[in-house]
């Protein structure tokens, strides 16, 4: 059972144990076990825990002990987003064997030896790493500075393209790698020359950053996910884009005097233009729908009416295509065919379709907000398509008039 944890403990030499205590931190979002199973080289034994989570038993001497938590006081957790209640697993904060565990200070050193650190591969050459930290640093998840160790502790890179891979381990995750100049090179260590840029303006789609004079190519880093929509320019000159640490936005600044870097998100303008066009189409549709229809009296008026009707139909279809794309147009085609088939009941069918689609979309949003976004969008398109179908011609053109005239000539 995934909800019942099992701990396997071992020691270099056998030790005697006569008690176990399971400590659960107050407020821990987990169920609490009321019994433990102990296995030390034989069949497991089931022991009930006291109110403080402890149990005493006949002393056993072993170098391996398997402790399992069982018979939990089950707890449930309510997720307000999915509106679902799920079962919580059994939690444990600390396991004490034979008495309280000795408390280690936060300043106690912790050494990650050479064979335990991440391995860095530079152009196929493996470099092992080690690290030094403290108990407090580990509990606070402070970043570690890895040091090369073992054979080949440094890798000198010649001019050209190189490949660097730093693989994470089960314990440590590699977040960044910094390439440094050699002690005899100019410029010192790159990490020491990092400095914050002077932000002039920082918006969602438009940003301005002032940079200082540079004697060499410099990297401007924006700690956000790379996005091809962002472009940068310095004094009108487009800057080359590069990914930093695999995910951050980076721009190469050529050597030169200080200036202002303009960062712009191009798709934002197109998105706003599309929204404006869509809003204009909806407004036009509403205005045309509000204009009372009049029966044409002359041929010129009938021609003007046909032109207005055609313009209205094209505007409605274009607006739906802008909102729903190919899917929206396909839904409109199906709804229009059904409306034409309904004949005199056309308007009743379209009204009922609009109301039902919107009602179903609202019901899905209230009852199943997760996992139904696609269905809700399709229902919204159905409702819009029903409205648009209301301004399209009610029936396909027929040949009744020409046939009648032809019969009249034949007589």
Does the pTM surpass 0.85? The reply is: no
Residue 218 has pLDDT above 80, yes or no: yes
| Per-residue CA distances from 284 to 235, 271, 312, 404 (Å) | 42, 20, 8, 38
Classify burial at 69, counting beta carbons within 10 Å of its beta carbon; exposed 0-12, middle 13-18, buried 19 or more.
buried
pLDDT tens, residue by residue, 142-200: 888 888 887 766 677 888 888 888 888 888 888 887 776 665 554 444 444 677 889 99
Residue 400 has pLDDT above 60, yes or no: no
pLDDT tens, residue by residue, 342-392: 888 888 888 888 888 888 888 888 787 777 778 888 888 888 888 888 777
Mean pLDDT calculated for residue range 114-138: 88
């Amino acid at each position: 059972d995934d909800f019942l944890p099992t701990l396997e403990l071992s020691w270099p030499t056998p030790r005697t144990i006569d008690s176990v205590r399971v400590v659960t931190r107050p407020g821990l979002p987990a169920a609490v076990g009321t019994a433990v199973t102990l296995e030390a080289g034989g069949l497991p034994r089931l022991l009930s825990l006291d109110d403080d989570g402890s149990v005493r038993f006949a002393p056993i001497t072993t170098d391996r002990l398997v402790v399992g938590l069982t018979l939990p006081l089950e707890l449930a957790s309510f997720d307000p987003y999915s509106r679902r209640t799920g079962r919580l697993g059994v939690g444990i904060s600390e396991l004490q064997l034979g008495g309280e565990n000795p408390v280690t200070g936060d300043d106690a050193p912790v050494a990650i030896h050479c064979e335990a650190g991440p391995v860095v591969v530079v152009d196929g050459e493996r470099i092992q790493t080690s690290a030094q930290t403290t108990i407090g640093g580990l509990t606070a998840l402070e970043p570690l500075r890895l040091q090369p160790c073992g054979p080949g502790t440094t890798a000198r890179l010649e001019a050209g393209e190189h490949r660097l891979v730093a693989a994470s381990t089960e314990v440590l995750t590699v977040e960044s790698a910094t390439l440094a100049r050699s002690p005899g090179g100019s410029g010192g260590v790159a990490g020491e020359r990092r400095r914050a840029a002077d932000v002039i303006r920082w918006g969602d789609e438009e940003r301005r950053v002032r940079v200082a004079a540079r004697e060499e190519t410099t990297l401007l880093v924006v700690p956000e996910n790379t996005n091809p929509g962002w472009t940068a320019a310095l004094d009108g000159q487009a800057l080359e884009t590069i990914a930093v640490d695999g995910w951050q936005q980076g721009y190469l600044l050529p050597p030169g005097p200080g200036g202002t870097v303009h960062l712009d998100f191009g798709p934002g303008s197109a998105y706003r233009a599309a929204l404006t066009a869509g809003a204009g189409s909806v407004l036009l549709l509403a205005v045309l729908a509000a204009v009372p229809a009049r029966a044409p009296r002359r041929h010129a008026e009938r021609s003007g009416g046909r032109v207005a009707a055609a313009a209205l139909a094209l505007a409605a279809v274009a607006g739906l295509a802008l909102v729903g794309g190919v899917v929206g147009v396909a839904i409109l085609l199906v709804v229009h065919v059904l409306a034409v088939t309904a004949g005199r009941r056309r308007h009743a069918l379209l009204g009922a379709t609009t109301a039902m689609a919107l009602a179903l979309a609202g019901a899905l949003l209230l009852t199943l907000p997760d996992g139904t976004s696609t269905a809700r969008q399709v229902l919204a398109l159905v409702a819009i398509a029903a409205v648009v179908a209301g301004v399209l011609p009610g029936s396909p053109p027929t040949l009744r008039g020409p046939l009648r005239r032809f019969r009249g000539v034949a007589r």
